[in-house]
Amino acid sequence: MVIQTDDQNAATVRARLRGEVGGLKPVMPHAVRQILNRGTEFRNYYASSPVCSPSRASLLSGQYPWNSGVEANLGPDGGWTGWQNHPIYRQNLPVTLNRHGYRTAHFGKFTNSYYDEENDRVDRTVPPGWDRWFTTAYKPGTRFYGYELNIDGRAVGPVGDPDYRQGGPGIDPATCGAGQIDQAWPAGPCRYLGDVMTAGAVREIERSEGRRQPFFIQVDYQAPHGDVAAPRGPQPATRHLGSASRTRLPRPPAFNEADFTDKPELIRSLAPDPMGAGEIRRLKRSYRRYLESLRSVDDGIGAIFRALRQSGELRRTYVFLLSDHGMFLGEHRYDWGKFMPYEDSSSPLMAVRGPGVRRGRVSREVVGNIDVPVTIMRLARSRPDYLVDGRSLKPFWRHPARRSSRPMAITINSQQDGEGASASAHAPALRYRGFRLGRYKYIRYDQGGEELYDLATDPDELENRAGSPRYAEALSFMREQLDQVTACKGVACREQLPVPPR
């Protein structure tokens, strides 16, 4: 089972919030207790591309974007259009599992532009490989009410008021709570998107009770992605509105980075000015809504685990918790956005629990979203009929101290324009190629400039070492490997490289 969030900064899984009444409370207690504490967390996990559609394609194919063909949110190689234009449409994880006897089910967001824009209606296509399809139409943008759905090839909706405003008309009454799954639409009156997707997943798990057929379920929550309705930020469930109203904005070392002189000229020319008091206040308000929206995700995790336990499936089910990519919350002056290769954007949350997974452990092996579907296929003993770039994570959760020198590429190969870039606020949508190997991350921008970070000594990426004589050998080595790493295919993507010189 895969539970995926959208735009979640990795640090927020352990964040704490404070409302008008009471002290600090954990934002995601079920996630921490049920998955992180009872499984293995991968702290050096990377999105192959910190862009929604390419990342989601890698998670369902086990391929880098240049091999899956989905390299952007829009255009012929972007989003739903890209899926339909390339072999990934029939060569992916659910197709492989389905062919080997698994029942497959999807709930929530699939990919950008999953909508019949020409006719302004829900696209009724169900991609191959899915037995149950309860998926949000992308019309375009993220809506937590007034959304439309494709339910097994049938257009449904809008669910809720499409003209809602955050905190205004269309918001569920406070009686729609986490423990009332039977009240979620279509069985009941509660229409908050996250709760509806949780209810769908819970009902699918209940259907599996007593059956011998194995299942694969993917739940794609749209929180904490920003809402199309103002103000900036996501729409929390009614029961959580205001629950983070007194929460402080974290200020890690990279927050509002003062000195950009180490960055390439391209980055300096596009860098926003340091945030002023007004911008920080705005970010604080958005951050509070961001945390509040994650509480409904955590409610969903709690409900899903209760259903797994009651059905008798929990002890033999693997559960992966991850995000499609990260999010800037003030780091490096970027007050809202993604796309850039820095850690807060490119290295999201990922943890797994299940049979044989070491409890409460942390792996610092460099891994990525291309590895998750390959791992699931191996666990299911199902072999894909196409080349995959990723590898199994099983050796690393069985032995969390184990390390290898396989690189993980981080790229944006296609221009991210239109709605894709506008959603990113100050973070520019540049084209670049790079990779993480051991302690180093190297990035080369198409418009010129390069960055080298020693993450062992500078985890916040405050000092670009590309111009440092001390790092000349390491820089030369990473430059030499770039073309090989960012053009690999199949087994070549799994090969280990020599350890870079220090």
Joined together, the tokens standing for residue 83 give 């899926």
Grouping H, G, I as helix, E, B as strand and the rest as coil, residue 409 is strand
Q: 4: closest CA among 206, 254, 402, 300?
A: 300
Bond prior to 224 in cis (omega within 30° of 0): yes
Joined together, the tokens standing for residue 190 give: 């509660």
Closest among 359, 400, 392 to 376, alpha carbons compared: 392
Residue 323 confidence (pLDDT): 98
The DSSP secondary-structure symbol of 32 reads I
pLDDT at 163: 83
Note the helical H segments in 62-102: 65-68, 79-85, 93-99
In 3D space, the residue among 373, 437, 273 whose CA is nearest the CA of residue 68 turns out to be 373
Q: Which residues contact 242 (CB under 8 A, 6 or more apart)?
A: 19, 20, 292
Those residues with Cβ within 8 angstroms of residue 343's Cβ, 6 or more apart along the chain or in another chain: 326, 455, 459, 460, 461
Decide: 261 and 467 in contact? Cβ < 8 Å.
no
Rounded to whole angstroms, how far apart are CA atoms 82 and 80? 5
Phi and psi at 59, nearest 5°, equal -65, -25
Place of tokens 């190629």: 433
Q: Report which secondary-structure segment, H or E, holds 340.
A: none
Rounded Cα gap, residues 64 and 52, in angstroms: 13
Give the three-state DSSP class for 494.
Answer: helix
Q: Are strands 440-445 and 432-437 parallel, antiparallel or unpaired?
A: antiparallel
CB atoms within 10 A of CB 138: 27
Kindly report the backbone phi and psi dihedral angles of residue 481, in degrees, each rounded to the nearest multiple of 5, phi listed first: -90, -15
- How is 197-266 classified by DSSP, letter by letter? HHHHHHHHHHHHTT--S-EEEEEE--TTSPPSSSSSS----GGGTTTTTTPPPP--TTBT-S--TTS-HH
**For the purposes of burial, counting CB atoms within 10 Å of the CB of 259, is it exposed (0-12), middle (13-18) or buried (19 or more)?**
exposed
The pLDDT score that the predictor gives to residue 407 is: 98
**Residue type at 234 in one-letter notation:** P
Within 10 angstroms of residue 457's Cβ, the number of other Cβ atoms is: 9
- What confidence score (pLDDT) does residue 141 get? 78
The two three-digit tokens of residue 106, written as one number: 């999807």
Q: What is residue 152's predicted lDDT score, i.e. its pLDDT?
A: 98
Per residue of the chain (502 residues), give pLDDT as tens.
Answer: 999 999 999 999 999 999 988 889 999 999 999 999 999 999 999 999 999 999 999 999 999 999 999 999 999 999 999 999 999 999 999 999 999 999 999 999 999 999 998 999 999 999 999 999 999 998 877 889 999 999 999 999 999 988 887 776 678 877 787 777 788 999 888 999 999 999 999 999 999 877 889 999 999 999 999 988 777 889 999 899 999 999 999 999 999 999 999 999 999 999 899 999 999 999 999 999 999 999 999 999 999 999 999 999 999 999 999 999 999 999 999 999 999 999 999 999 999 999 999 999 999 999 999 999 999 999 999 999 999 999 999 999 999 999 999 999 999 987 655 444 434 456 888 999 999 999 999 999 999 999 999 999 999 999 999 999 999 999 999 999 999 999 999 999 999 999 998 8
- Asked whether the beta carbons of 138 and 115 are under 8 A apart, the reply is yes
**Which DSSP symbol is given to 501?**
P
**Alpha carbons 48 and 33: distance in angstroms, whole number:** 28
Cα 452 off chain centre by: 24
The CATH classification number of 2-103+118-133+230-494 equals 3.40.720.10
pLDDT in tens, 72-84: 999 999 999 999 9
